[in-house]
Amino acid sequence: MDDRFNPQPPIYGQRYAGSAVARNTVLRNTYMLLAISLVPTVLGAWAGLQTGLAQWMLVNPGMGMLLFFGGAFGLMYAVQRNSNSGIGVALLLGFTFFMGLMMSQLLSMVLGLSNGVQLIALAFGGTAVIFGAMASLATVVKRDLSGLTKFLFIGAVMLMIVGVANIWLQLPALVIMFSVVAIGIFSAFMMIDVRRVLDGGETNYISATLAIYLDLYNVFVNLLSLLSIFAGGSRR
């Protein structure tokens, strides 16, 4: 599910969305809500580790994938349907909590490494650096990015198909290729999604937060996956 090709209604609680002041307000609210969304993500990850959900998904990857797609797509649809009301904020935070739950599977494996905590911190810092670079680049890029957006969307769909197939194939080389390509695609999406807000193409800060959050989430989990493969220590 991707909302990047659909025009959005005016921002919740904001008028005159076409003005520079309004665009800056959308961006500021987006960044604020994005920062807040990290809290339920962390809580969700902690809950997944504490309740045993992470281990259950490791033992049952097929069921875990169904849970992920069903919950993620359902909540994204609900967020978009309510993006013009305060309910949309609550649903977005619920979505980020759910995504934290789903991330706990990867975190469980990484924390089993002797340097797992350091790898998580490094992946978080790397994601922050990538976001800072892409957000800065978005302020200077002036060309039309619609063609690139469609190309990246096709790439993201193909990645989804490859990811599902590799649940059963279990090819290490495919995991590495998947993560490298995913980091590239969603880093580019960061720039595009920030640029859409700056251009006034996205006037709803809830929808903007959802798009950028998904970019950050995908970059983080794939960067962490790569780090665990190439820099991971011994198992505890």
Between helix 86-111 and helix 116-138 the angle, nearest 10°, is 140
CA 182, 187, 188, 190 torsion: positive or negative? positive
User: What digits encode the pLDDT tens for the residues 64-112?
Assistant: 889 999 999 999 999 999 999 899 999 999 999 999 999 999 999 999 9
On whether the CB atoms of residues 83 and 12 are closer than 8 A, the answer is yes
pLDDT in tens, 182-229: 999 999 999 999 999 988 888 999 999 999 999 999 999 999 999 999
CB proximity list for 5: less than 8 A, separation 6 or greater = 149, 150, 153
Above 80 in pLDDT, residue 5? no
Q: Which residues pair with 158 in a beta bridge?
A: none
C-alpha to C-alpha distance for 41 and 32, rounded to whole angstroms: 15
Q: pTM of the entire structure?
A: 0.88
